[in-house]
Amino acid sequence: MTNTTTKPPTHRTDRERKKGTADLLVLTLLAEQDRHGYELAKVIEQRSDGLLIFHVASLYTLLYRLEGRGLIRGRWVEKPGTRRRRFYSLTSEGRVSVERQRRDWRQFVLAVDRILEPEPA
Amino acid sequence: MSDPRRSQPPCTEELHPSWRELVRSRMPELHLPPEREAEVVEELAQWLADASSHLEFHRQEEVDAFLQQQIPTWNDIESSLSRDRRPPRPIPGLENRSSSFTAGVFSDLRQAARMLAQRPGFTAIAVLAIGLGIGIASSVFSLVDYVLFRPLPVEQPRELVNIYASSPGGFLSEEPMAYPDFVDLQKMSRTLQEITASAMAMVAVEQGDEARIEIGTLATGNFFETFGIKAAAGRLLMPEDDQMGNPAAVAVLGHRAWKEMFDASPEAIGATLRVNGHALTIIGALPEKFTGLWPAVEPTLWLPMSLQPVLGASGTTNFGSPSESPLESRGSRWLWVVGRRASEASLAQTQDELTRLAANLSEAYTETNGDRRFVALPTREVRLIPGIDAGLKTASAVVMALVGLILLIVCANVGNMLLARALSRRREMATRLSLGAGRGRILRQLLVEGSLLALLGAAVGVSAAVFSNILLNRVELPIPIPLSLDLAIDWRVLLFTAGLAGFTAVVSSLAPAAETLRTNLITSLRDGGRISGNRSQRWQSGLVLAQVCLSVVLLVCAGLSARSLLNAQNIDLGFEPHGVVTASLAPGLQGYDEEESLAFYQRLQDDLSARPEVARVAYASHLPLSFWVNTAQVAPERDRHLPEEERNEVDMASAGAGYFEAMGIEILRGRSFETRDRDSSVEVAVVNETLARSFWPTGDAVGRRLVFGERSLEVVGVAQNGKYRTLGEKPRPFLYLALDQDEVESLLFLTVRFQNPELASPEVLRQTIRHHAPHLAESSLGTLEEAISPAMILPLLSGRLFGLLGALGLFLAAIGLYGVLAYAVARRTHEIGVRRAMGAQRHHVLSLVMRQGLGLTAVGVLLGAALAAALTRMLQSILYGISATDPWTFAAVVGVLFLVAALACCLPARRALRIDPLAALRHE
């Protein structure tokens, strides 16, 4: 990341914040139901009250990487009255992975919380 | 750029193509398979359409800014798709050299398959040509394999040795053995753990009301044990069945007989058959794989040797004096002996022992065994009899050589087609070479292409061979002994075919490969694939030469054989077989005594003679050209003092009154036999011209006397020469004795000449014989032409085979020669255009092209003729009445090839001349 200095600082913060958690977010949402890319971005934006916003390049980079790792699978679905879209769903590997990541994340948050909370005197 | 949504119809969910185009135009090369790339474009475009649905763009900059915000960089997307990326398109011939060899060959195979599929016409012709060549070769090989190589289906064949008796001056160098000699060997040999003997014999078999003469085999009790044969049903002969003087009345059925007579039912075991008038119990049947020791002859019955005196059957082969009891006489040599070596004994040790034993016997029995030796030969090296095998091997070698020639011609044809294609692919090859492909790599590609063609051809060929074998198995040869061919495509034939395919692949790829290896990059690229070099012409000239040369050899062989067949059919036999019907009768075999036999013969002759359609009826002990040979030691009266062995050995037969007339043998001087030549009258003989001339070179033979044993015979007539043993024989001396003055023969041939040859019918004989002896078995009932057909088999078969091979060879040679020459001329279209443009006259150009093409053909013809003259000497032994270097045949072949060559030069040249010179110049 040597050339990130040319990029706006907010962008960089966004990137880093999202980096560790984006996989978990997408996998968790797909564990609920199959979704297409734009829907995923919208849900993330809504649930985070606009705090987490993906643009197309970052989301699809993520999706293609997860698909490449075999955690999710995309397939084209045509529903009456809507255009043909590529819906993503979890593979069985993805299901295992999301469980593990959730557990790790909770432990991590717990650990961080413990440090942030002032120790009772 | 305008807002991509503007033109989007409001009420549809279809994505407007503009977003796709936008994405496509901005997206870098992702190296994805096309369908994956389309998916990515679609997804991104959809997102952009969705994300911009609430935005309004008025200027191109706004669209650009939106895009920049959504896709600040393509790098991440690009890297995230790395797994979907297709490998970079390989430059043929430039693949990673470290990639495994097999993978390379597979890719070559794929490429070759594509190449062949692209040119279905080329592929079909090449595959058919190869298929034809390989099919013929495989089929002929399976025949040769069957006759020469297929091992006996017995246990441990390597331990088996055939043992022959051999005497200097014998009819064959390896002859059968006398029974007493065999018994002595059995007793005394230490190096052989088992010795067994067998002999084929004709026997009369009665089943129900029908009696037939069948082939039986007399075998010693240990025969099947020695070979390790197990019964398919019941049991086989055992030593207990074969007690001399006390034989068991049993028989074993051959597999085919078991199937045909009893439907292969187990109920056959225990059934009774009447054989030569004696009831025998069937104790078992042979397995299908064992049909006896001789290829193509499957005996019906296998009988204990000790039954021989009971059945009165004697072997079909008998060298020596057949009149003595075959089981007691050392002079009667009729047994084929096979031994199994003890595991520790070598062949040399066995031979040493046999030599010693033979010396002992010749001391003990000087009269019969004086100079007799025993010879051991490994069983797997013998097919029929060593002396006959040699001829068989020569014939097989000649046929295989012809087949090889056909295959070579096919290779030249296909090689030429591949060369033509390689030349037209010069630019491709040069490009690949210049991009760094190794020559070895390109060579492999060519070889793989050739192999694929050969493989397809081999598949076609094997199918053709299977088909032709089915046909060959069904062919019924016009001979009295039922031959059963059992040709099959077994692993040996497949191996041979695979070898042929490999050979074809390599040979037909040679020319194109050599051409490619010597490709000069610069000239090839510069010339753009147009071929003008001397080198490629040299290759083509070489192919034309090879083609012409091989074709001459093949066509000469075929032509000679075809003419030999015609000659054989027109050969002067010395008798007229057309219109004669014969049957062999052996009433003695079925219990008639001498008196009854004579009475029967007389009644039959009288009855037949009385029929209006019959011209002449007569008996004889032997028929010419029937493979039954009887010889006698004779001398003219003046040499009466000569001992027996120094007299002339001549073929002889006993003939009854009317025989010469019935057979159509002309009496040149004196008279033929008449009814007055009975026991009581003076003993008489008729000699043929050759015998008359050799005994009495000056003066007339009629009235002279000759001595035969102790008998003195008066020559009453001289008959014309004829063919007696084989069609190809030189005139040989022949002696006829009067049948009525000779001992009664156990088997006589009845010959009946019909008034109208076209009405000659075996049926008349059959009915008359039935009338006088309802249960008598008659064999070889048929026309005389059928009876002598065995002698015609070799010329007949070789004529048909060579005719077929010749026709095929001519066809292949003609299209091959035409193809090679026509292609060579067509490639000169450019040159012809130049010549025309420079003002050359049409006929000048035409004569130039013709001169060159025919010149090349002439060289090939000369080479081929020289080669053919050298090779056809091998054929001489199977040619009838024609020299192996017959000038007419050579001339005809040369003429045909020149005609083809002239056409092949002329037609494409004329086509080239019709083209406008300017167009020809542009022609590449």
| Structure confidence by residue, pLDDT tens digits, B24-69 | 888 887 778 888 888 888 888 888 888 888 888 878 888 888 888 8
Report the run of H or E that residue B320 belongs to, with start and end. Answer: strand B319-320
**CA angle, A36 as apex, A30 and B67 as ends, to 5°?**
125
Range list of H helices, B639-709 = 659-663, 689-695
The answer to whether the beta carbons of residues B864 and B553 sit under 8 Å apart is yes
Q: How confident is the model at residue B506 (pLDDT cuts 50, 70, 90)?
A: confident
**3 state DSSP class of B221:** coil
pLDDT for res B751: 93
The answer to whether the beta carbons of residues B226 and B196 sit under 8 Å apart is yes
- Whether the CB of B43 is below 8 Å from some CB of chain A: the reply is yes
Q: What is the arithmetic mean of pLDDT over B137-158?
A: 82
- Whether the CB of B35 is below 8 Å from some CB of chain A: the reply is no
Q: How far apart are the first and last CA of chain A?
A: 42
Closest residue, chain A, to B74 (C-alpha): A57
pLDDT for res B302: 94
Give B16 or B408, the one with higher predicted confidence.
B408
Buried b (16+ CB within 10 A) or exposed e, A23-44: bebbbbbbeeeebbbbbbbebb
| B46·A81 Cβ contact <8 A | no
Q: Which of B97-106, B236-245, B597-606 is least confident?
A: B97-106
pLDDT for res B416: 77
Distances (CA, A) of B30 to A63, A69, B33, B86, B571: 16, 19, 9, 9, 86
The answer to whether the beta carbons of residues B875 and B792 sit under 8 Å apart is no
**CA angle, B71 as apex, B67 and B77 as ends, to 5°?**
145
- With a pLDDT cut of 90, the percent of chain B lying above it is 19
Out of A57, A63, A83, name the one closest to residue B70 (CB): A57
pLDDT for res B354: 92
| B15·A57 Cβ contact <8 A | no
pLDDT in tens, chain A (121 residues): 333 333 333 444 445 445 567 888 899 999 999 999 999 999 998 988 888 888 888 889 889 989 888 899 998 888 777 778 899 999 999 999 899 888 888 888 888 888 887 766 4
Q: How confident is the model at residue B9 (pLDDT cuts 50, 70, 90)?
A: very low
Beta bridge partners of B280: B273
Q: How confident is the model at residue B172 (pLDDT cuts 50, 70, 90)?
A: low
Q: Read off the tokens for B511.
A: 């020319």
Average confidence score pLDDT of chain B: 80
Q: What is the arithmetic mean of pLDDT over B478-505?
A: 73
Q: How confident is the model at residue B616 (pLDDT cuts 50, 70, 90)?
A: very high
Report the run of H or E that residue B549 belongs to, with start and end. Answer: helix B534-570
pLDDT at B523 over 70: no
Could you tell me the sign of the dihedral formed by the alpha carbons of B64, B66, B71, B73, in that order? positive
For the stretch B423-470, pLDDT in tens is 767 767 777 776 666 677 778 888 888 888 888 988 998 888 888 888
Question: How is residue B721 annotated by DSSP?
Answer: P
Beta bridge partners of B719: B667, B688
Q: Read off the tokens for B593.
A: 């005594």
In a domain, A105, yes or no: yes
Considering its fold, how many domains does chain A have in total? 1
Which A residues in the span 21-40 are in contact with B, Cβ-Cβ below 8 Å? 36-38
Distances (CA, A) of B672 to B118, B661, B715, B814, B914: 79, 8, 10, 57, 78
The whole domain housing A85 covers 17-116
Residue listed under structure tokens 């979704």: A35
pLDDT at B12 over 50: no
Note the residue count of chain B: 924
CATH number for the domain spanning A45: value is 1.10.10.10
- Neighboring chain A residues of B14 at a CB cutoff of 8 Å: 83
Out of A56, A65, A85, name the one closest to residue B80 (CB): A65
For the stretch B96-105, pLDDT in tens is 444 556 667 7
Q: Read off the tokens for B569.
A: 């059919």
In a domain, A3, yes or no: no
| B42·A86 Cβ contact <8 A | yes
pLDDT for res B793: 65
CA atoms within 13 A on the CB side of B120: 0
Question: How is residue A120 annotated by DSSP?
Answer: P
The answer to whether the beta carbons of residues B15 and B49 sit under 8 Å apart is yes
Q: Read off the tokens for B283.
A: 């104790």
Range list of H helices, B145-268 = 179-188, 223-227, 255-262
Give B388 or B832, the one with higher predicted confidence.
B832
Whole-model pTM?
A: 0.58
In a domain, A104, yes or no: yes
pLDDT for res B63: 84
Distance (Å, rounded) from C-alpha B594 to C-alpha B868?
A: 59
pLDDT for res B326: 74
Distances (CA, A) of B548 to B129, B538, B857, B900: 17, 15, 6, 10
Distance (Å, rounded) from C-alpha B655 to C-alpha B673?
A: 8
| Best CA proximity match to B845, nearest among B867, B864, B825 | B825
Burial of A55 (0-12, 13-18, 19+ CB in 10 A): middle
- Neighboring chain B residues of A85 at a CB cutoff of 8 Å: 46
For the stretch B855-906, pLDDT in tens is 888 998 899 999 888 888 777 776 777 888 888 988 998 888 888 888 877 8
Q: How confident is the model at residue B8 (pLDDT cuts 50, 70, 90)?
A: very low
Residues near B155 by beta carbon (within 8 Å), at least 6 away in sequence: B227, B228
The answer to whether the beta carbons of residues B327 and B342 sit under 8 Å apart is no
If you average pLDDT over each of B308-312, B385-389, B434-438, which comes out highest? B308-312
In a domain, A57, yes or no: yes
Q: How confident is the model at residue B176 (pLDDT cuts 50, 70, 90)?
A: confident
Closest CA–CA distance from residue B83 to any residue of chain A (Å): 6
Give B809 or B724, the one with higher predicted confidence.
B724
| A56·B13 Cβ contact <8 A | no
In a domain, A1, yes or no: no
| Best CA proximity match to B458, nearest among B406, B496, B415 | B496
Residue listed under structure tokens 């069609």: B727
- Chain pair A-B, CB pairs under 8 angstroms: 63
